[in-house]
Structure 1
Amino acid sequence: MQNDRDQAIGGHPNWKPETLAVAAGRPDRVPDAPLNQPIVPASTYIGGSTTDLVGYGRYGNAGWSALEDTVAALEGGSRALAFASGMAAAAAVLAAVPADATIVIPEHCYLGVAGLADEYRQRHGLTVRTVDIADTAAVLRAADGAELVWIETPANPTMDVADLPAIAAALPAECLLLVDNTFATPLLQQPLTQGADIVLHSATKFLSGHSDALCGILVFGSDTDAELVARAESARKLHGATPGVLEAYLVLRGIRTLPVRLRQAEASAKVLAGLLADHPLVDRVRYPGFGSMLAIDLTDAESADRFIGNLRLWVHATSLGGVESTLERRRRWPSELPSVPPGLVRMSVGVEHVDDLASDLLTALDLARS
């Protein structure tokens, strides 16, 4: 009997993403088998046949495989690789492209990715072009002669949105398209079905959903060059960027509730975006119309800091995608991109009651004005 994992990877025609989030990556359904994939805390494996041999704990783990199969199924991909963090996954991609390659990245993107690209530029000769990913024509101009176009949509932290189908359709065949899908999640956007070659997730965020695990994942499409996938996997092995077995378990457990978490958080985000737009201290609300991430621009850093200091329910923290609502002024970090406005506050809406979230925000904004 074909097991659930094989069915999910095969893209079961009758299973919606909400079902895959629950049903994919399960052990075989045999009597007395566990319902969940058990944690396998093993660094050493018994030797034997070289066929499908794990060999060593840095090369594979049943828990990784269950997680990878589930995310691949959700994204409509053919293969996924889990890493120790989102940054480890990002580094594996850059390690897989030629050292003298030209890549295009968003002018507004996660500061870690911008820093990593700059390091590869300085140490390895990588050519890095930055572009406004919401300007499709500018993206395509920047992609001329490039080996890789790297897109965040919505972008972190400015919430810029790219036209993925238009970009993918116009890119030359030899140029890879990577999409960081951390903010949208595969429930709201499946870049591989829109022409992307690679999807990246900081699984630490929404996929995990409980602020308790570091993990990154790359997902590859069926048409992605097999040699590229092999180079990314080799980077994981050689650089030791492997996920912990507990972390893989926690992320997979988090995915089981992603549909209900995201549904609640997105509904609240839409309400909050409307309320915040009417407050006189808010110069701009940045909300793409979907998902549970938004940002607001206050007049200056001082106003934003006063606002944050008055909050009681929202948590001032740098991460996102958890069940708790978090926010931060991004320019508090010296390494944040200077093009990010000083008064921009990035917000990750959790699953608390929307009335409590709204009351806390509006009260803090009122106090910041006085």
Structure 2
Amino acid sequence: MHDANPAGGPTLHPDTLAIIAGRPPHLPDAPMNVPVHLTSTYVANGDLRYGRYGNPNWAAFEDALGALEGGRCVAFASGMAAITAVLDLVEPGATVVAPRHSYTGTVGLLEELAAKRRIQAVFVDISDTDAVTDAAAGAAMLWIESPTNPALEVADIAAIAAAAHEHGALVAVDNTFATPVLQRPLEHGADVVVHSATKYISGHSDVLMGAAVAASDDLAAAFVGHRSMYGAIPAPLETFLALRGLRTLPVRVERAQSNAQELVRRLTGHRALEEVRYPGFGAIISIVVRGGAEPAEALAERTKLWVHATSLGGVESTLERRRRWPAEQSTIPEGLVRLSVGLEHVDDLHRDLTSVLDALDPA
């Protein structure tokens, strides 16, 4: 692959890395992008060996996301596949400390592993640094989500990672919401960063994929071994699409964040809302609709531009009431609606939301 940051050269900005990393060498008549390698079988005596062990599309994507996060990336079939590989590092019976408000897939997996006595799971308020520090004593792994999904709590990653390391715990951070454009957890002491590449990395709601980015070669090798053994491999076409999406990640995040910040300004104080939650960065907003589940569902069903859907991080704006999912934590308000702000014009997004909110407001 093309060297995205030559030795001795200047440190490149994320905007530049997203464009140049994971490219083929700049040779005459070489393609600008790694072509899609639709093959399960390779001729013997090379490095790839077999389709479950490697693919040039994986390598290109891993080079690019690894450059952005500052670590060694391993691509997986989904975000959950990456999460499973990271949790598989924990020895049987050991303790994992995790946020009480997290992606429901993460919480569900931790609870399942705990029910099988594979691990012990301890859930904490990840924004309470003292509580996390206390819980980390004796833990094998600290799992961080920041901002949390969908409560949007923010962790002091550097402080709690340092505390966890004092107790010999590994630190993993789900960076799906923030992306490496806004937050690079490895620089703050994390050992592993996890992404649902389905979301902002690919950015177009057409890919199911995940990734784990390790701070060390040993951890990366462990993830490759897990992926190969359990077959949690991404398809070449999906990997090609995810890399194509990653090329525009910085500009998409910039526009979506700008829209989100303006929407927060306009929505704060609306009479139909009890609360507007926003961590100060990123493109996810959680609003709590006055009156609970019924008006919140009505908002999700009646908007025209905002798409009622469960995923996030695409170019289009989506929304959903999170408690419609039985697995969502009971501490999440019934009326909480998560907004994934996209790239449409902010005036149109605001008009669409407030046209429904105004109708819901009894005043």
Alignment TM class, shorter chain as reference: over 0.9
Unaligned segments of structure 1, at least 5 residues: none
Change in Cα spacing, 1:129 to 1:360, as seen in structure 2 (3 Å) is same
Task: Work out the number of aligned pairs and report it.
Answer: 360
Query: Following the alignment from structure 1 to structure 2, what is the Cα–Cα distance between the partners of residues 8 and 337?
Result: 43
8 A contact 1:83–1:216 mirrored in 2: yes
Change in Cα spacing, 1:60 to 1:9, as seen in structure 2 (3 Å) is farther
Q: Structure 2-normalised TM-score?
A: 0.96
8 A contact 2:125–2:132 mirrored in 1: yes
What one-letter code is carried by the residue in structure 2 that aligns with 1:204? T
2:357 matched to 1:360?
no
- Alignment equivalent of 2:300, drawn from 290, 296, 308: 308
2:274 matched to 1:283?
yes
- Alignment equivalent of 1:47, drawn from 30, 44, 49: 44
The CA deviation at 1:115 is: 0.6
2:327 matched to 1:335?
yes
After TM superposition, the structure 1 stretch with the greater mean CA deviation from structure 2, 119-128 or 185-194, is 119-128
Unaligned segments of structure 2, at least 5 residues: none
Q: Structure 1-normalised TM-score?
A: 0.94
Structure 1 residue runs of 4 or more that deviate by more than 6 Å after TM superposition: none
The CA deviation at 1:232 is: 2.1
SS at match of 1:27: coil
The CA deviation at 1:295 is: 0.4
Q: Report the counterpart of residue 32 of structure 1 in structure 2.
A: 29
For 1:231-250, what per-residue CA distance to the aligned partner results, in whole angstroms no more than 9, with x for missing partners? 32221111110001011001
Q: Report the counterpart of residue 86 of structure 2 in structure 1.
A: 93
Query: Following the alignment from structure 2 to structure 1, what is the Cα–Cα distance between the partners of residues 41 and 246?
Result: 28
8 A contact 1:8–1:70 mirrored in 2: no
8 A contact 1:95–1:232 mirrored in 2: no
Query: Following the alignment from structure 1 to structure 2, what is the Cα–Cα distance between the partners of residues 239 and 20?
Result: 31
SS at match of 1:166: helix
What one-letter code is carried by the residue in structure 2 that aligns with 1:138? A
What one-letter code is carried by the residue in structure 2 that aligns with 1:45? Y
2:188 matched to 1:194?
yes
Query: Considering only aligned residues, what root-mean-square deviation do their CA atoms show, in Å?
Result: 1.4
For 1:267-286, what per-residue CA distance to the aligned partner results, in whole angstroms no more than 9, with x for missing partners? 11001011111211111111
What one-letter code is carried by the residue in structure 2 that aligns with 1:130? F
8 A contact 2:85–2:226 mirrored in 1: yes
SS at match of 2:270: coil
8 A contact 2:136–2:163 mirrored in 1: no
Query: Following the alignment from structure 2 to structure 1, what is the Cα–Cα distance between the partners of residues 12 and 165?
Result: 33
Change in Cα spacing, 1:112 to 1:10, as seen in structure 2 (3 Å) is farther
8 A contact 1:9–1:72 mirrored in 2: no
Q: Report the counterpart of residue 341 of structure 2 in structure 1.
A: 349
SS at match of 2:319: strand
2:176 matched to 1:167?
no
Q: Report the counterpart of residue 254 of structure 2 in structure 1.
A: 263
Change in Cα spacing, 1:10 to 1:214, as seen in structure 2 (3 Å) is farther
Q: Report the counterpart of residue 74 of structure 2 in structure 1.
A: 81
For 1:111-142, what per-residue CA distance to the aligned partner results, in whole angstroms no more than 9, with x for missing partners? 00001111111224300000000000011111
Change in Cα spacing, 1:243 to 1:10, as seen in structure 2 (3 Å) is farther
Q: Report the counterpart of residue 229 of structure 1 in structure 2.
A: 220
The CA deviation at 1:168 is: 1.9
The CA deviation at 1:97 is: 1.7
8 A contact 1:150–1:179 mirrored in 2: yes
After TM superposition, the structure 1 stretch with the greater mean CA deviation from structure 2, 325-334 or 167-176, is 167-176
Query: Following the alignment from structure 2 to structure 1, what is the Cα–Cα distance between the partners of residues 5 and 108?
Result: 36
Query: Following the alignment from structure 2 to structure 1, what is the Cα–Cα distance between the partners of residues 355 and 273?
Result: 13
The CA deviation at 1:258 is: 0.9
Query: Following the alignment from structure 2 to structure 1, what is the Cα–Cα distance between the partners of residues 264 and 8?
Result: 35
